[in-house]
């Protein structure tokens, strides 16, 4: 169960959109909802608290616990998420005007340091999700993303699990190779189903072969998900930790709300 949701709010319109989504999910799942704001340099705490309270009241959330922190935005948000044992961290899109896109943003640094699944809210629509797509490989992070996506869906919603067997244009995939990948993928899903509570979320799946980015883009265009769930593999042993390349590519221009599980 998702017991605690934390929304990181920076007083932007994008953060308001994230707040409304966080409130919808908390209501749907009977979870606790909290908000954290990290003061910018020279920002007055009293003024910040008043501005946050105005935003909360506008969204009928006047009694929401609000934590004001000072210091590094990344460190303070991660510390608050760990301290509250949050099951989900919710943020709005912050890098829309960044000349470097996703690279170097607060979102990227939070993802690289977080052990908590993160929901990046793009759509200004707080209605419950009805369609979700989970991009699966055989990693633990992708598996965790699938589980969290299922928790965020109400009864009657559709969750499609997609596995992309990556190949190049110069390498044709044999029928035997595809059959093996399909067998492994279906076994993975069956193993997961055994641990899921009985619910009426509609679960289906497909396997495609080809270049990962292109195939995922095609699946998103075809299925029009409101939520895309992905894992975020990290190579912390390198001098600069890296997110998985496909996840990074999607986060450059998110097509919908993105759920990322480390």
The larger pLDDT score, comparing residue 2 to residue 173, is at: 2
| CA–CA gap between residue 90 and residue 67 (Å, rounded) | 15
Does residue 208 share a domain with residue 141? yes
Domain stops at, among 86, 102, 121: 121
Q: Is residue 113 part of a domain?
A: yes
| 143: Cβ contacts below 8 Å, ≥ 6 apart | 136, 188, 192, 231
Q: Is residue 126 part of a domain?
A: no
Does residue 142 share a domain with residue 79? no
Beta strands in 180-237 (DSSP E): 202-210, 227-231
Model confidence at 145: pLDDT above 70: yes
Does residue 160 share a domain with residue 94? no
Looking at the 3D structure of the chain, how many domains does it have?
2
| CA–CA gap between residue 23 and residue 241 (Å, rounded) | 32
Q: Is residue 19 part of a domain?
A: yes
Does residue 135 share a domain with residue 13? no
Does residue 115 share a domain with residue 185? no
Provide the domain limits for residue 196: 131-261
Domain stops at, among 72, 101, 121: 121
Which range in 22-31, 93-102, 158-167, 198-207 is most confidently predicted, on average pLDDT? 22-31
Strand 118-121 to 257-261 pairing = antiparallel
Across the range 159-188, mean pLDDT stands at: 81
Does residue 137 share a domain with residue 114? no
* Residue 171 confidence class, pLDDT cut points 50, 70, 90: low
**Residue 221 sits in a domain of what CATH number?**
3.40.50.620
Q: Is residue 161 part of a domain?
A: yes
71 Rama sector, left if φ>0, alpha if ψ -120 to 50, beta otherwise: left
pTM over 0.95: no
Strand 4-8 to 88-92 pairing = parallel
Does residue 57 share a domain with residue 39? yes
Residue given tokens 């908590």 in the structure block = 116
Does residue 15 share a domain with residue 112? yes
* pLDDT number for residue 242: 45
* pLDDT number for residue 240: 36
**CB distance 164 to 191 below 8 Å:** no
Domain stops at, among 93, 121, 149: 121
* pLDDT number for residue 96: 53
Residue among 211, 3, 159, 202 at smallest CA distance from 87: 3
Helices (H) and strands (E) in the chain, counts: 8, 10
Model confidence at 169: pLDDT above 90: no
Query: And the tokens for 61?
Result: 């959330």
Least confident interval from 143-147, 233-237, 243-247: 233-237
Q: Is residue 24 part of a domain?
A: yes
What mean pLDDT value characterizes the chain? Answer: 87
Does residue 256 share a domain with residue 154? yes
Query: And the tokens for 98?
Result: 């960044």
Does residue 244 share a domain with residue 219? yes
CB atoms within 10 A of CB 179: 10
């Amino acid at each position: 169960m998702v017991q605690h949701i934390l929304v990181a709010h920076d007083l932007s319109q994008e953060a308001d959109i994230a707040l409304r989504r966080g409130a919808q999910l908390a209501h749907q799942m009977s979870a606790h909802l909290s908000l954290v704001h990290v003061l910018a340099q020279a920002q007055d705490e009293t003024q910040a608290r008043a501005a946050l309270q105005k935003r909360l009241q506008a969204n009928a959330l006047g009694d929401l616990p609000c934590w004001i922190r000072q210091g590094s935005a990344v460190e303070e948000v991660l510390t608050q998420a760990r301290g509250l044992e949050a099951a989900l961290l919710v943020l709005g899109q912050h890098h829309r005007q960044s000349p470097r896109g996703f690279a170097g943003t607060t979102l990227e640094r939070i993802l690289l340091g977080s052990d908590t699944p993160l929901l990046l809210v793009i759509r200004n629509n707080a209605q419950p999700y009805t369609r979700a797509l989970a991009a699966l490989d055989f990693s633990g992070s992708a598996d965790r993303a699938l589980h969290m996506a299922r928790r965020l869906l109400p009864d009657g919603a559709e969750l499609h699990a997609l596995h992309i067997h990556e190949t190049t244009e110069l390498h044709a995939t044999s029928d035997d190779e595809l059959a093996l990948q399909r067998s492994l993928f279906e076994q993975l899903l069956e193993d997961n189903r055994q641990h899921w509570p009985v619910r009426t979320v509609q679960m289906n799946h497909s396997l495609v072969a080809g270049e990962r980015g292109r195939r995922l883009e095609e699946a998103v265009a075809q299925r029009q998900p409101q939520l895309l769930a992905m894992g975020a593999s990290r190579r912390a042993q390198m001098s600069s930790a890296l997110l998985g390349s496909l996840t990074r590519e999607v986060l450059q221009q998110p097509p919908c709300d993105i759920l990322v599980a480390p």
